[in-house]
Chain A
Amino acid sequence: MADDKDVLRDVWFGRIPTCFTLNQDEVTEREAEPYYLLLPRVSYLTLVTDKVKKHFHKVMRAEDVEEMWFEYEGTPLKWHYPIGVLFDLHASNTVLPWSIIVHFKNFPDRDLLHCPSNSVIEAHFMSSIKEADALKHKSQVVNDMQKKDHKQLWMGLQNDKFDQFWAMNRKLMEYSTEDGGFRYIPFRIYQTTSDRPFIQKLFRPVSADGSMHTLGDLLKEMDPTALPNEGGQKRYQVVIHGIEPLLETPLQWLSEHLSHPDNFLHICIIPTPTD
């Protein structure tokens, strides 16, 4: 059971100050001012940028507007990753506000998923929750929920209602004391240096001898290059929600407290800044 409620709140209310600027090549009728927003780390870009879209539509002709998409320093941003993951992965250790470029044409459909409506985000979000529960409880918890319970999880995220979301989400975080944790930990490890989008495999929170697996144990098995080398030199930062948790932290605790609302623990491995 999750009991460190302050941690859950801090994670939920994490914000990233962001400046949206219109792509220079867009055709406008007058100059487009940049638009500033505090983005919730746990939400999705396309879910919280209606105001950005409206703001730029005002200076554009309807026929010049196609599906909106976002770019950061040449990288198209995948809306289906949580906002905090996109920031940690691509923009950690840079100056705030986070500067995102907004596009309304040339949608890069070899790189990005289309997002025609919020129902697509909802389907993606619920699909992640289902997958996480398949790992944690063989889908038993999510299948025992009713349709309105699923809706409560989604509405909680969509409307930024912490209590509404957690009243239901705590069920997804339960496990029996004799098990000592979930069946498997739903996690994804992201690295910008790899062509592969992320690593996702099976990993148990408790080892065969009964001790709790730590974040370090997970990385040792999945991505050993992320750990400091023998000389103790730290080449990579291991970042979750913008912080570097101790490698000794039990994975089960991280899964319960630092998972995103989609119930996955998203871990970013980024090169240690050299300056």
Chain B
Amino acid sequence: MSWCGLDEQSFHLCCQLLLQQSEQLNDGWSWEVVQGSDEGYLKKTALRVVNINPSRKWDLEGLNSESETQSCQDTERDQSAPVSTDDADDFKGNFDEEVVEDDSVCSEAAGSSLVLQYEYHILFSCSYSVPVLYFRAFTLEGRSLSLEEVWSSVHPNFRLRLQSSPLNTITLQEHPLLGQPFFMLHPCRTEEFMRPVLQEAQHRHRPVNFVLTWLSVVGPVVGLEVPLKYCTLLRPAASPD
């Protein structure tokens, strides 16, 4: 079984490539340097409109057993399943979201909709040799979201799977470079779910940007969409298969 992690140098190369593409696509990523060190991280901020139903607090302790072997690959597939508005009723209306793409959007969302400011950071974990997604979210008044509120803004399809994992997957942690509380998607399974993707790419002799591919898997869980255009930019000459 080959090791499918990433070393720090490759991480920086992947980030540089992602930054170049982000610039072309106007996707808003930037590189932040930590003062007095050679380290840094990718950063992006975005506005999200989220409907949070306060009557439905998620019980973090109560859900524990579904399938622990469920890989994040499966979660990715679930994401493509369309959610009709009828189905949404089954979730007791606790999720509804749209990404604000231009200034003209922000009105209709009914009920207790909230405009939230999300800040996403991508850091390198030398312990696990993989990238890690940190994020925090504020209301427009500057109040930071609690862990419960963050969970309730995660799509129910993801939520059931994630909360069955050993470390609850989204936790509040200290940002290792800033020392401030951030939410984090735990990296201990990343290498495992990236392995088949990388092996397939190697098999087909296709270039893969580890950070970009990984981000397209974990980002949507917390509302961070990765435009498909990144992929078409990456290999403009690829045959359609």
Interface 9-mer from A43-51, A119-127, A212-220, A250-258: A119-127
B144, CB-defined interface residue at 8 Å: yes
- Chain A residues closer than 8 Å to B174, beta-carbon distance: 78, 80, 113, 197
Contact present for A131 and B180 (CB under 8 Å): no
Instruction: Confirm or deny: A164 has a beta carbon within 8 angstroms of a beta carbon on chain B.
Output: no
Closest A residue to B179 using CB positions: A197
Asked if A195 lies at the interface with its beta carbon under 8 angstroms from chain B, I say yes
**With an 8 A cutoff between CB atoms, is A204 at the interface?**
no
Question: For B179, what are the chain A residues with a Cβ–Cβ distance below 8 Å?
Answer: 195-197
Contact A131-B176, Cβ < 8 Å, known A112-B181, A123-B167, A196-B37: no
- Residue A144 interfacial (CB < 8 Å): no
Which 8 residue pairs spanning A and B have beta carbons closest together?
A197-B179, A131-B127, A134-B127, A113-B181, A202-B126, A113-B172, A135-B127, A134-B128
5 extra A-B contacts, CB within 8 A, seeds A114-B181, A198-B176, A202-B126: A80-B174, A110-B144, A196-B34, A197-B175, A200-B176
Q: How far is the CB of B134 from chain A (nearest CB, A)?
A: 13
In whole angstroms, what is the CA distance A201 to B126 when docked?
6
Contacting pair A194 B36 (CB below 8 A): yes
User: Contact string, B98-130, partner A, CB cutoff 8 A, digits 1/0?
Assistant: 000000000000000000000000000011100
Q: Which residues of B contact A (CB under 8 A)?
A: 34-37, 61, 126-128, 144, 146-147, 167-168, 171-181, 186, 188
Whether A130 is near chain B, meaning CB under 8 Å from some CB there, is: yes
A158, CB-defined interface residue at 8 Å: no
Set of chain A residues within 8 Å of B127, measured between Cβ atoms = 131-132, 134-135, 186, 200
A123 partner, pick from B35, B171, B188, beta carbons under 8 A: B171
Instruction: Describe B's contact surface by its main secondary structure.
Output: loop
CB-CB < 8 A to B144: which residues of A? 109-110
- Which residue from A114, A134, A200 sits with its C-beta under 8 Å from B172? A114
The A206-261 residues at the B interface (CB cut-off 8 A) are none
Question: In whole angstroms, what is the CA distance A109 to B146 when docked?
Answer: 10
Of the candidates A80, A127, A135, the one whose C-beta lies within 8 Å of that of B167 is A127
Q: Which DSSP category, helix, strand, loop or mixed, fits chain A's interface? A: loop
Does A111 make an interface contact (CB < 8 A)?
yes
Distance in angstroms between the alpha carbons of A237 and B167 in the assembled complex = 36
Total A-B contacts with CB atoms under 8 angstroms apart: 59
CA distance A31 to B173 in the complex (A): 36
Least CB distance from A140 to B in Å reads 12
Q: Which residues of A, 85-125, contact B by the 8 Å Cβ criterion?
A: 109-114, 119, 123-124
- Chain A residues at the B interface, C-beta cutoff of 8 Å: 78, 80, 109-114, 119, 123-124, 126-127, 130-132, 134-135, 139, 186, 194-198, 200-202
**Contact: B186 with A127, CB < 8 Å?**
yes
What residues of B have a CB within 8 angstroms of the CB of A195 in the complex? 35-36, 179
* Residues on A with beta carbons closer than 8 Å to the beta carbon of B37: 196
A124: chain B residues at CB < 8 Å are: 171
Residues of A within 8 Å of B147, CB to CB, are 114
26 contacts between A and B (CB under 8 A): A80-B174, A109-B144, A109-B181, A110-B144, A113-B172, A113-B173, A114-B147, A114-B172, A119-B61, A123-B167, A123-B168, A126-B167, A130-B188, A131-B128, A134-B127, A186-B127, A194-B36, A195-B36, A196-B36, A196-B37, A196-B177, A196-B179, A200-B127, A200-B176, A201-B126, A202-B126
B180:A110 contact, CB within 8 angstroms: yes
B37 CB to closest chain A CB, in angstroms? 7
CB distance A114 to B146 under 8 Å? yes
Contacts of B175 in A (CB 8 A): 197
Query: Complex formed: what's the CA distance from A126 to B181 in Å?
Result: 18
Q: Is the CB of A134 within 8 A of B61?
A: no
* A194 and B34 alpha carbons, distance in the complex (Å): 11
Find chain A residues with CB under 8 A from B178 CB. Answer: 197
Closest residue of chain A to B147 (Cβ to Cβ) is A114
- Distance of A119 Cα from B60 Cα, bound (Å): 11
- How far apart sit A113 and B36, CA to CA, in the bound complex (Å)? 25
B146 to chain A, nearest CB (A): 7
A residues near B167, Cβ cutoff 8 Å: 123, 126-127, 130
A194: chain B residues at CB < 8 Å are 36
Cβ contacts under 8 Å, B177 to chain A = 196-197
Determine the chain B residues whose CB is within 8 A of the CB of A119 once the complex forms. Answer: 61
